[in-house]
Amino acid sequence: MNTAQAQLGEVLAAGGPGLARLLERTELRLAEVAEGHGRELARHAGGTLSAGGKRLRPMLVFLCADGDAAEPLVAAAAAVELLHMATLVHDDVLDRAPLRRGRPTVFAEGGRLAATATGDLLFSRAFAELAATGSEEAVLALSAASSALARGELMQRADAWSEDVTPERYLDRCRLKTASLFEASCRLGALFGGRPRLADPLGRFGERVGLAFQMLDDVLDVAGPAERTGKPRGTDLLDGTVTLPLILARRRDPGLRELDPSLTAKQAEALCDRIAATGALEEARTDALAHVVGAKESLAGLDLPAARRHSLGLVADGVVRRYA
């Protein structure tokens, strides 16, 4: 068990048998979706699915709910995980990534076409799950996250190789690309879980956790080590993705301004060392941690049982521990 799973294990323990049961039902539902739409999808999606992810977003759905209406809650949890998987399958096409969750990506195994179609199918099934609940508000929440995700990916492409991405623009991108789905997960949990009045504040909590999550993921891309992340250091630099560590490092080492599109993997690693030498990794980590602290503080004033507040705090901490 790695530290991330250990930390989520703590969340599971705190959530009790109710949370574990809901997560189990979500797994069953995801397996049904992967198997129920033809052999091709089953082959491509089943692999990614059974390799398992952390299921962070479903967990947020359940932890933001009061635990009553199990059926729509499981539908919402399956929907956010399907949307997440769809974006990962597509992201791996854009990034030409060989591995995901420790296994060959759909892109690596089936090629661009299969990965694009598999992602599309997962996207549409995500919406079918929610549509079945009959809640227009829920469909709109997921649709907002889905549009944001696409805009975030487009913005990232537009910023590729750029010499003057500001921290603000980077944060906007993270908000769109990652935080929006964390926000939607919390919002759906509140909506279906009998806490509609908390949908906005819990959504904001999720957004900040998601923001920190992506910021720390980007730190890890530079910091490694590769044995821990399962990918070589500097993959973002190799495809021109300008993230916070580089943006901050450039202020101290102007030689880092230009990114060379013909960079080799070895040069990218050397560049990672140069970024680290400026102290930018600590600065980016500190910025991310501030969002985790802010997210946890925002829970203090909410009408939630203490145990729930504690569990949500553990999820926020888990994001940090994963990178400690």
Which of residues 91 and 207 has its CB atom nearest to ligand IPE in the complex? 91
Which of residues 81 and 221 has its CB atom nearest to Mg ion in the complex? 221
Which of residues 195 and 269 has its CB atom nearest to ligand IPE in the complex? 269
Region near Mg ion per CB under 5 A, out of 7-15, 90-98, 123-131, 296-304: 90-98
User: Is residue 95 at the binding interface for Mg ion, with CB under 5 A as the rule?
Assistant: yes
Residues 6 or more apart from 140 whose CB is under 8 A from it? none
Q: Which does 53 bind (CB under 5 to 8 A by kind): Mg ion, ligand IPE, none?
A: ligand IPE
Calculate ∠ Cα 180-184-190, nearest 5°: 150
**Interface with ligand IPE (CB under 6 A):** 53-54, 56, 84, 87, 91, 95, 97, 101, 149, 153, 177-178, 214, 217
- Nearest distance in Å: CB 90, ligand IPE: 8
Q: Which does 54 bind (CB under 5 to 8 A by kind): Mg ion, ligand IPE, none?
A: ligand IPE
Task: Give dist(CA 222, CA 231) in Å, integer.
Answer: 11
Q: Which does 101 bind (CB under 5 to 8 A by kind): ligand IPE, Mg ion, none?
A: ligand IPE
113 neighbors 103 (Cβ within 8 angstroms): no
Residues 203-232 that bind Mg ion (CB under 5 A): 217
Which of residues 82 and 198 has its CB atom nearest to ligand IPE in the complex? 82
- Nearest distance in Å: CB 96, ligand IPE: 11
Q: Which does 150 bind (CB under 5 to 8 A by kind): Mg ion, ligand IPE, none?
A: none
DSSP structure class, residue 100: E
User: In the structure encoding, which two tokens stand for residue 49, read together?
Assistant: 């699915």
Task: Give dist(CA 207, CA 183) in Å, integer.
Answer: 5
H/E stretch holding 152: helix 136-158
Residues 6 or more apart from 308 whose CB is under 8 A from it? 63
User: Is residue 239 at the binding interface for Mg ion, with CB under 5 A as the rule?
Assistant: no
- Nearest distance in Å: CB 300, ligand IPE: 26
Among 27, 91, 287, 317, binds Mg ion (CB under 5 A): 91
Which of residues 217 and 287 has its CB atom nearest to Mg ion in the complex? 217
Which of residues 165 and 304 has its CB atom nearest to ligand IPE in the complex? 165
Q: What is the DSSP string of 218-260?
A: HHHHHH--HHHHSS-TTHHHHTT---HHHHHHHHH-GGGS---
Task: Give dist(CA 3, CA 323) in Å, integer.
Answer: 9
Name the site residues for Mg ion (rule: CB under 5 A).
Answer: 91, 95, 217
